Amino acid sequence: MALPLRRSVGNEGVRERLNSAWARTDEIFSIVASDQLNASPIVWRHPFLFYIGHLPAFSWNQICGAILKWESFNPYFDDLFCRGIDPDVDTGECHWHPEVPQEWPGLAEILGYRDNVRRALSEAVDALGRFASADVMAQQGRAFQMVLEHEFMHQETLMYMMQQLPFEKKRRPKLFPRYSFQRSPASRDIEVPAGKARLGAKFQDGLFGWDNEFEELLIDVPAFTIDSLPVSNGRFFEFVNSGAYDQEIYWRPEDWRWKNLEKKYHPTFWLKRDGDWYYRAMFDTFPLEHVEGWPVYVSLAEARAYASWVGKRLPTEAEFHRAAYYGPDGRESEYPWGNTPPGLQHGNFDFAAWSPVPIGSRPAGASRWGIMELAGNGWELTDTPFAPFPGFSSYISSYPDYSRDFFDGKHFVLKGASWATAADLVRPAFRNWYQAHYPYVFAKFRCVTN
Ligand SMILES: [Fe+2]
């Protein structure tokens, strides 16, 4: 079942959606102190300044350049900011990207470029319809949905970077919600019988999707038992505190190698000071016990080790779909909770909390099996390598080969959403992907058995 684009009607609606996406982007960049825009708190990413230029460059290149063929007012910036980096964290190897300059251009110049592009895009909303017969991306608002989703994805990756920035180098947003702390309820075993799972989407349906979402794929999934709740900081602490986190028998050889090379003794968001454990949130540090009811954010490697310790494993992408979009009556739904569009009662996404919330605090978002938190409060790690579905073709995207560089066996699919994921991306076909040894993502997990 495909999700219609969440769109306001008409060109004015598209402009409104662009304006509200840009307002959030600007709010996010305003978190970083202006003298820190050259910082790269995650070594595998460019500095913040690059992304201020990258978002407009991508939008210009895809719409005004590729489709409308408008003459550029800054070809140098269009190229310089066209693509970021996302290297292999084990080898440092990176896909093609523009040469990194000795020095990035100044902030004022980049902001001027951004504003010019935003003005051009507002005009492009009216112009694009005339190209609908010649360009598939000009149909059904696809090109604008693409630049919006690209912006949303970067908003989240910027938050990962900001999470790693020291507190004194950033300031919290003006309307920062109160944190909430509660213990997590106990997880239950939920049995999901064998049945079909529908992954991806049909291009023919005419809705926007990234190249990796096509074509639709129906899979027979054997019966499995899944945790009703994701693993909390409290539960993961038992794993660390027992010493099992440091025992090789629970780790895959390649994961154990990474753990030792990176000298990892606990999740990236935790710290140990004078024998006491703390949790480092975006703007504050808490004693770990205060947030024991929040989901633990870990890499896939760490999640696999925990699952092995409890005698279970991580779900597959298809098992996630069975757990999220089906129910005991055998019928499929658009969302875990049914067919109502995503609202803040369903899950912690769309920057509602700017932090994790206690597990179980959005009961209206439970799937029809009674499985909670499948969409929101942290992406759900799966152990399915990120790979194309049968029928994959990059021609259906105006961003050719968007995904192909990442079909390398080292990236794995994540589903659902985190607190920093826009509501637009809470759609069943959307696939996120990260390397097993990338520990910065707001990613949680739960376990399954057969
Ligand atoms: Fe990008």
396-405 pLDDT, tens digit per residue, is: 655 667 888 8
Which residues face 190 on adjacent strands?
226
Q: Is 444 helix (H, G, I), strand (E, B) or coil?
A: strand
Average pLDDT over residues 409-420: 97
Q: How far apart, in Å, do the first and last CA atoms of the chain sit?
A: 27
Q: Report the percent of the chain where pLDDT is more than 90.
A: 79
- Distance, in Å, from the CA atom of 327 to the CA atom of 19, rounded to the nearest integer, reads 38
Residue 406 DSSP label: G
Mean pLDDT of the chain: 92
- Distance, in Å, from the CA atom of 233 to the CA atom of 194, rounded to the nearest integer, reads 31
How remote is the CA of residue 57 from the centroid of ligand 1, in Å? 9
Q: Are 378 and 444 in contact (CB under 8 A)?
A: yes
Contacts of residue 211, defined as CB under 8 A and 6 or more positions apart, other chains included, come to: 392, 393, 394, 396, 397, 399, 401, 402, 403, 404
Has residue 2 got a pLDDT over 90?
no
> Quick check: bond before 215 cis, omega within 30?
yes
285-287/276-280 β-pairing = antiparallel
Has residue 5 got a pLDDT over 50?
no
pLDDT at 3: 39
Backbone phi, psi, residue 225, to 5°: -115, 130
How remote is the CA of residue 150 from the centroid of ligand 1, in Å? 6
Q: Are 224 and 348 in contact (CB under 8 A)?
A: no
pLDDT tens-digit readout, 241-256: 999 999 999 999 999 9
How remote is the CA of residue 252 from the centroid of ligand 1, in Å? 32
Least confident of 122-136, 252-266, 318-332, 421-435: 122-136
CA angle 185, 321, 307 (to 5 degrees): 50
How remote is the CA of residue 59 from the centroid of ligand 1, in Å? 10
How remote is the CA of residue 169 from the centroid of ligand 1, in Å? 24
Q: Count CA atoms within 13 Å of residue 113 on its CB side.
A: 29
Contacts of residue 230, defined as CB under 8 A and 6 or more positions apart, other chains included, come to: 295, 296, 359, 373, 377, 378, 380, 444, 445, 446
Has residue 300 got a pLDDT over 50?
yes
How remote is the CA of residue 226 from the centroid of ligand 1, in Å? 34
How remote is the CA of residue 278 from the centroid of ligand 1, in Å? 33
- Distance, in Å, from the CA atom of 308 to the CA atom of 302, rounded to the nearest integer, reads 10
H or E element that contains 13:
helix 10-29
pLDDT at 207: 81
Token readout for 28 is 């996010």
How remote is the CA of residue 423 from the centroid of ligand 1, in Å? 19
How remote is the CA of residue 194 from the centroid of ligand 1, in Å? 38
Q: Are 280 and 269 in contact (CB under 8 A)?
A: yes
pLDDT tens-digit readout, 369-390: 999 999 999 999 999 999 999 9
H or E element that contains 22:
helix 10-29
Least confident of 66-80, 124-138, 236-250, 316-330: 124-138
| Residue 141 or 445, more confident | 445
CA angle 178, 187, 344 (to 5 degrees): 35
Which residues face 385 on adjacent strands?
412
